[in-house]
């Protein structure tokens, strides 16, 4: 089959890691007779520099016309002083919203080969962990009403968290359906002891749960969840939570896998088109130095093959190749950890994975 893929390389290490993923996709796909046709579009700081707009209209159109989107990362200190609506991050929120990508799937599992890199006490992760965080992506405080005003103590600013029943219901269904394909356990995370929006969240989750009697469902307060993730991560199977809590907890869950450089993500809507990106940022400190870990982006490409393109055999092969290379002891700088091995570069890691394919 032939697939049209929009590439949003973005800023910082974005171009390097996307190039790696493209090479891996091409080789893995070719084995099964699939061809990928790529069109690159500008998004983020690079788009602002070139056009004055971090999310040009052409980029949105190109993504909408594609079968799927592969994204590197956006942002960097160069654009940190721009007003909110021109920041690279705003483009990321804009494209998620324009493509209707309300689901963000962030799996976090402990690779056997990286066990020693997990910062948790060894006895806490003896049996590993494998969780799937499902983050609501186009609602909540990220998209709520915000502004500045004159308040009781002078000038103040506000952002609002708002969830509709519809938004909670559709993300709940994604979580329960995903759990059915896994260990049949959903933990919904909220702050229902304080926030009205969380109380509605919890009500709707419980209502949807009744349609899935085969899936165990429980609630956890977000502060407790932050603690449980570093105390007993194996208790989690599918986690479902709001945009903001999911942003924070997915970084925490990535860190206990050893490195944020390992974690892929998928953003999905109603149709088959998705946007796939590593959960890490643009790492401006190592940009252009060929030091970045391309694995998170390569695994994101694998997720794209599984969730959007429906060629799971390609996804399996890519994931197997990554596993093999890690088991053979190859490490980029971020995952050297206690092994003491000499790190390999981004392109060398890519070569190793290509060879394993
Ligand atoms: C993420 C990032 C983004 C977010 C930023 C860059 C806007 O942290 O994808 O987790 O907060 O969603
Ligand atoms: Mg984040």
Does the annotation count 214 as an active-site position? no
117 CB under 6 A from ligand 1? Answer: no
Of the candidates 71, 64, 95, 89, the residue with the CA atom closest to the CA atom of residue 9: 71
Question: For residue range 312-322, what is the model confidence (pLDDT) as tens digits?
Answer: 999 999 999 99
Residues 6+ apart with CB under 8 A from 309: 1, 3, 34, 67, 68, 272
Q: Strands 264-268 and 274-278, how do they pair? A: antiparallel
**119 and 259 Cβ atoms separated by less than 8 Å:** no
Smallest-distance ligand from the CA of 75: 1
pLDDT above 90 for 356: yes
- Is residue 89 lining ligand 1, measured as CB closer than 6 Å? yes
pLDDT > 90? residue 172: yes
Closest to 286 in 3D by CA, of 9, 17, 8:
17
Q: Whose CA is nearest to atom 9 of ligand 1?
A: 279
**Atom 4 of ligand 1: nearest residue by CA position:** 247
- Determine which helix (DSSP H) or strand (DSSP E) holds 176, and give its type and residue range: helix 165-180
pLDDT in the model for residue 115? 87
Q: Examine the pLDDT at 46 and tell me if it is beyond 90.
A: yes
Instruction: State in Å: Cα 306 to ligand 1 middle.
Output: 23
Q: What is the pLDDT of residues 50-71, one digit of tens each?
A: 999 999 999 999 999 999 999 9
Name the catalytic one among 142, 163, 212, 276. 142
* DSSP secondary structure string for all residues of 219-274: EEEHHHHHHHHHH-GGG-SEEEE-HHHHHHHHHHHHHTTS-GGG-EEEEE-SSS-E
Q: How confident is the model at residue 117 (pLDDT cuts 50, 70, 90)?
A: confident
Question: Which DSSP state fits 111?
Answer: -
pLDDT at 29 over 90: yes
> Closest ligand 1 atom, CA of 104?
9
Predicted pLDDT at 162: 98
Ligand 2 centroid distance, CA of 281 (Å): 8
Residue 260's pLDDT is: 84
Is 142 considered catalytic here?
A: yes
What pLDDT was estimated at residue 199?
98
Exposure b/e, 282-308, CB count within 10 A at least 16 = b: bbbebbeeebbbbbbbbbbbbbbbbbb
Reported as a single tens digit per residue, the pLDDT across 86-113 is: 999 999 999 999 999 999 999 999 988 8
Q: What percent of the chain has pLDDT over 90?
A: 93
Per-residue model confidence (pLDDT) at position 259: 84
CA distances in angstroms from 91 to 43, 86, 141, 346, listed in the order given: 7, 8, 16, 26
Low-confidence winner among 53-57, 211-215, 252-256, 289-293 (lowest mean pLDDT): 252-256
Instruction: Please give the mean pLDDT across all residues of the chain.
Output: 96
User: Does residue 154 have a pLDDT over 90?
Assistant: yes
Question: CB atoms < 10 A from the CB of 192, how many?
Answer: 19
| Ligand 1 atom at minimum distance from 75 CA | 6
pTM, entire model: 0.94
- Concerning whether 123 is annotated as a catalytic residue, the answer is no
Mean pLDDT over 141-152 rounds to: 97
Ligand 1 atom closest to 251 (CA): 10
Residue nearest to ligand 1 atom 12, measured at CA? 247
Condensed to tens digits (0 to 9), the pLDDT of residues 187-204 reads 999 999 999 999 999 999
Identified catalytic residue from 190, 247, 317, 334? 247
106 Cα: distance to centroid of ligand 1 (angstroms): 12
Q: Which ligand is nearest to the CA of 14?
A: 1
For a mutational test of ligand 1's pocket, the pick from 247, 248, 283, 284, i.e. the residue with the most ligand atoms closer than 8 A to its C-beta, is 247
Check pLDDT > 90 for residue 157.
yes
pLDDT of residue 116: 85
What's the token pair of residue 258? 């050893």
């Amino acid at each position: 089959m032939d697939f049209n893929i929009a590439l949003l390389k973005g800023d910082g290490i974005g171009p390097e890691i996307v190039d790696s993923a493209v090479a891996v996709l091409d080789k893995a796909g070719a084995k099964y007779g699939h061809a990928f046709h790529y069109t690159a579009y500008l998004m983020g700081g690079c788009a602002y520099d070139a056009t004055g707009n971090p999310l040009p209209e052409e980029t949105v159109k190109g993504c909408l016309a594609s079968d799927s989107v592969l994204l590197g990362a956006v942002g960097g200190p160069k654009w940190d002083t721009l007003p909110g609506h021109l920041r690279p991050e705003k483009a990321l929120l804009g494209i998620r919203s324009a493509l209707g990508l309300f689901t963000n799937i962030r799996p976090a599992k402990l690779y056997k080969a990286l066990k020693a890199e997990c910062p948790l006490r060894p006895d806490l992760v003896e049996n590993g962990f494998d969780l799937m965080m499902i983050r609501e992506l186009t609602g909540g405080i990220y998209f709520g009403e915000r502004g500045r005003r004159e308040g009781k103590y002078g000038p103040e600013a506000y952002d609002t968290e708002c969830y509709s029943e519809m938004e909670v219901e559709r993300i709940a269904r994604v979580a329960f359906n995903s759990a059915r394909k896994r260990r049949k356990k959903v933990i919904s995370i909220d702050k229902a002891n304080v926030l009205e929006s969380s109380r509605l969240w919890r009500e709707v989750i419980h209502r949807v749960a009744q349609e899935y009697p085969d899936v165990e469902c429980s609630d956890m307060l977000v502060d407790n969840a932050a603690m449980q993730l570093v105390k007993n991560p194996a208790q989690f199977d599918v986690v479902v939570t709001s945009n903001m809590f999911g942003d924070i907890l997915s970084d925490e869950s990535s860190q206990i896998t050893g490195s944020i450089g390992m974690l892929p993500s998928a953003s999905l809507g109603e149709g088959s088109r998705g946007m796939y990106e590593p959960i890490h940022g643009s790492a401006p400190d190592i940009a252009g130095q060929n030091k970045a870990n391309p694995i998170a982006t390569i695994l994101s490409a694998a997720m794209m093959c599984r969730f959007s393109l429906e060629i799971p055999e390609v996804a399996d092969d890519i994931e197997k190749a990554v596993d093999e290379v890690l088991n053979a002891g190859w490490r980029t700088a971020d995952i050297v950890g206690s092994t003491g091995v000499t790190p390999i570069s981004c392109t060398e890691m890519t070569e190793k994975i290509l060879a394993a394919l």
